[in-house]
Amino acid sequence: MSDSALGTIMAERHFEARNEAGEEHEVVLRIGIPVHDPRPDGDWYCPYQITGVPNNRVSVASGIDSLQAFLLVLEKARAELAFSQRVDGLRLTWLEQDNWGLPDLETKSGETRR
């Protein structure tokens, strides 16, 4: 997907990132407006992009409606940020807090709330 596939941005969050060498930079999560797939019985998809990490392509999360697609973006973004923190050796913070201010949509047992 191209960056233009992000469409109109409806939400954005800026994180502070520090690599293992102590160098700081910014990581940004941008979320586009959910779009309905025009095909018959098409689902909704919500585009998003995380910049400042090695893989900064535009991606999507799909859902049965626009709210589910948006909530799944938050889950995918949380997972991708955690991956970058672990694999890329980044320490990510938001407002000087280790909690990124993203909702944790999973229960302690790992099952998604319904």
Residue 109: inside a domain, yes or no? no
Under the banding of pLDDT at 50, 70 and 90, the label for residue 105 is low
pLDDT tens for residues 41-93? 889 999 999 999 988 889 999 999 999 999 999 999 999 999 989 998 889 99
pLDDT of residue 75: 94
Q: How many domains does the chain have?
A: 1
Asked if residues 70 and 43 have their Cβ atoms less than 8 Å apart, the reply is: no
Residue 111: inside a domain, yes or no? no
Residue 33: pLDDT above 60? yes
Supply angle C-alpha 5, 8, 11, rounded to 5. 110
Three-state DSSP at 50 gives strand
* Percent with pLDDT over 70 in the chain: 88
Mean pLDDT rounded to a whole number for the chain: 87
Residue 112: inside a domain, yes or no? no
| pTM of the shown model | 0.83
Domain residues for 47? 3-93
Q: Using the structure block, give the residue that is written with the tokens 């893989």.
A: 55
